[in-house]
Amino acid sequence: MKPMLLTAADEITVGNEWLYETKYDGFRCILEWKEEPILTSRNGKILNNMFPEIIHFCHTIYENIKSNLPLTIDGELVYLKNNFKSDFSIVQTRGRMSNKESISNHVKIFPCHYVVFDILQYKGESQTNRYLTTRKQLLAKLMKGLGLSTTVNYMDKRKIQAIDVFQDSEELWTQIKVNNGEGIIAKKKTSKWVSNTRSISWQKIKNWRYVNVVLTKYDKNNGFFNGAVFLDDSLVDVVTFHNGLKDEEFHTLASLFESNGTKQKGEVWGIHPSICVEVACIDFFSDYLREPSFHAFKLDMDPQECTWKAMQRKLNPLPEQMEFTHPEKILWPTIGFTKDDYLLYLQKASSHILPFLHDRLLTVIRYPHGMTGSMERFFQKHAPDYAPDYIQTKLVEDINYILCNDVESLLWLGNQLALEFHIPFQTIHTNKPTEIVFDLDPPSVKAFSLAIEAALRMKAIFDHFDLTSYIKTSGGKGMQVYIPLPNDVFSYEDTSTFTQFICNFLVEQEPQWFTTERLKKNRGNKLYLDYVQHKEGKTIIAPYSPRGNIQGLIATPLNWQEVKESLKPSMYTIPAVLERLEKQADPFRDFRQDNNEEEFKNVLSQLEGQH
């Protein structure tokens, strides 16, 4: 069975007879489930071996779903960067793998989801001839009955989720733009599902980004042009394109190369960097712009303006409805980072930092002049009067706290030069801690090895108790160890009993290295194990928050295997973390899925038995 296909459109069709979905950049495939689930690509390729996490999840829900078989559903295999964007490069990399061990390792780092948007067969009965709205209702009923998510959530471990359906195209389009998604799909409510047919009842509208490049080559054999950008002082090719050029535009460019350029190997012509054009694309992957198409000549543009940095901003545009000031203001002279660079970091890190900021009373530290001069700073808890309407707040004890729950709020705070984000150990919906955090504070960055030693010793203790733990750098000279907890189960008194025991135990083991002494002057050269900080009303630096230091360090989540002698805080600058986000998954990705409830109850029982 080949899938129903989309028709490309330049504008979103609106009206009561249409509904709207996110267009994800992944692998379109159909899941047919009779006795065994089979994932089939649009080209007829069986994908079970390449995406074993989906098949494994199917087996976990078999007892619940078997009464609904045979079943056929239509959807997209995706690696979700946020709820509105999938990273195609991750999915494609997996699709090219054949080695079982390589696939298994890739699954651990980059687990994929299957986002379902249609149901074609239910209990062996075809649904394709029914209206889309009827099929959607049946799909929602099926998902709810199975306890599966009826909305897309990139943090949810459940590998099969139903796509969100919007009645308002503008609402969805705003989310697509803000979250840098691929596009939007408009579907007619009365549409039927027709195999292997490109229907005007299903329309795709791409969220094009527009990048300026310098033309470098023309291949007369195939009619393709190469475009490049400046990275430092060198030109780096980032696009090869042909589409989008009208006949007159193509002949103009070709003649420019042949009359002013230099013939290179075969029928390839090169030219001095002088011609700039604007290219439409949907993303950047494998060193090239994805789905490129000529958009416009930029004849008045200086080629030196076509830079790697400018391309990054064009690929990640700031929300149009927001106002940003002084983008070229230098915030970190040591690493040459501007305010615009910082905003780009917040955009790219948003899907990692926002889950920890969500619904928490936020304290920020603002640096009005960045890491320059006197490094003036001030704490801010109260939302200012000039905060825009989209900033959510919560009034607690006469303080109107900011709630940073979305990308727009995060970027607004970034524009206000909030460079540190500090959060409490509970949300506005809980009265008890949702995590335990141990702060490992060495006397200086030169003694960072003490933090490594303390962290590894803690990990050994937590492993003994079967407690799942997480680790991050503090963004300064220390580290922080986390243990997630379920909502509103354990009190601060409970956690205090545990943290005090762990810290005292480590001090007893190695009194020459560790201390719980509050006064700095009495600590000597020992690492301070801070358990007093973990209490109601106190805060900790959020994962992925920058810190107010000249190096531009980030409080960076790590994998435990990275915690070794060679680890240094200086390794995690903003540029380094940006690169890290592109190459590996978030070590804190499953943080909220691991709540340690039974394990922590057992620990408390053991501790209480000692008294």
In 3D, which of 477, 522, 531 has the Cα closest to residue 503? Answer: 531
> Is residue 243 located within the same domain as residue 274?
yes
The answer, yes or no, to whether residue 286 has pLDDT greater than 90, is no
User: In this structure, what token pair is assigned to residue 531?
Assistant: 């358990």
Asked if the structure places residue 261 within a domain, the reply is: yes
CA 227 to chain centre: 28
> Is residue 156 located within the same domain as residue 271?
no
Of 2, 23, 187, 477, the active-site residue reads 23
Asked if the structure places residue 326 within a domain, the reply is: no
Give percent above pLDDT 70 in the chain: 100
H or E element in which residue 101 lies: helix 100-109
* CATH number of the domain residue 108 falls in: 3.30.470.30
| Amino acid (one-letter) located at 113 | H
Compute the mean pLDDT over every residue in the chain, rounded to the nearest whole number. Answer: 96
User: What count of Cα atoms within 13 Å lies in the side-chain half-sphere of residue 426?
Assistant: 18
Asked if the structure places residue 398 within a domain, the reply is: yes
* Domains held by the chain: number: 4
User: In this structure, what token pair is assigned to residue 451?
Assistant: 């933090």
**pLDDT of 453:** 97
| Amino acid (one-letter) located at 476 | G
Ranges of beta strands (E only) in 286-329 are 288-290, 293-297
DSSP string of 114-129, one letter each residue:
EEEEEEEEETTEE-TT
* CATH number of the domain residue 517 falls in: 3.90.920.10
d(CA 292, CA 19): 28
The pTM (predicted TM-score) of the whole model is 0.94
Return the residue matching tokens 């960076």: 556
d(CA 477, CA 348): 25
> Is residue 455 located within the same domain as residue 550?
yes
Q: Is 234 exposed, middle or buried (0-12, 13-18, 19+ CB in 10 A)?
A: exposed
Asked if the structure places residue 154 within a domain, the reply is: yes
**pLDDT of 587:** 95
* CATH number of the domain residue 263 falls in: 2.40.50.140
**pLDDT of 265:** 86
Looking only at the bridges linking them, the beta strands covering 160-162 and 113-122 are parallel
Asked if the structure places residue 334 within a domain, the reply is: no
> Is residue 140 located within the same domain as residue 188?
yes
> Is residue 396 located within the same domain as residue 293?
no
The answer, yes or no, to whether residue 465 has pLDDT greater than 90, is yes
Residue 189 known to be catalytic: no
pLDDT level of residue 533 (50, 70, 90 thresholds): confident
pLDDT level of residue 22 (50, 70, 90 thresholds): very high
> Is residue 147 located within the same domain as residue 245?
no
d(CA 2, CA 131): 19
pLDDT level of residue 609 (50, 70, 90 thresholds): confident
**pLDDT of 386:** 95
> Is residue 382 located within the same domain as residue 504?
no
| Amino acid (one-letter) located at 147 | G
Asked if the structure places residue 465 within a domain, the reply is: yes
CB 138 within 8 A of CB 162: no
CB 552 within 8 A of CB 371: yes
> Is residue 41 located within the same domain as residue 175?
yes
Asked if the structure places residue 349 within a domain, the reply is: yes
> Is residue 456 located within the same domain as residue 419?
no
Asked if the structure places residue 253 within a domain, the reply is: yes
In 3D, which of 557, 595, 562, 565 has the Cα closest to residue 481? Answer: 557
Going from the C-alpha of 469 to that of each of 220, 227, 455, 595, the distances in angstroms are 59, 47, 10, 10
The answer, yes or no, to whether residue 372 has pLDDT greater than 90, is no
> Is residue 47 located within the same domain as residue 150?
yes
> Is residue 256 located within the same domain as residue 192?
no
d(CA 151, CA 117): 11
> Is residue 196 located within the same domain as residue 219?
no
Domain extent, residue 373, equals 339-423
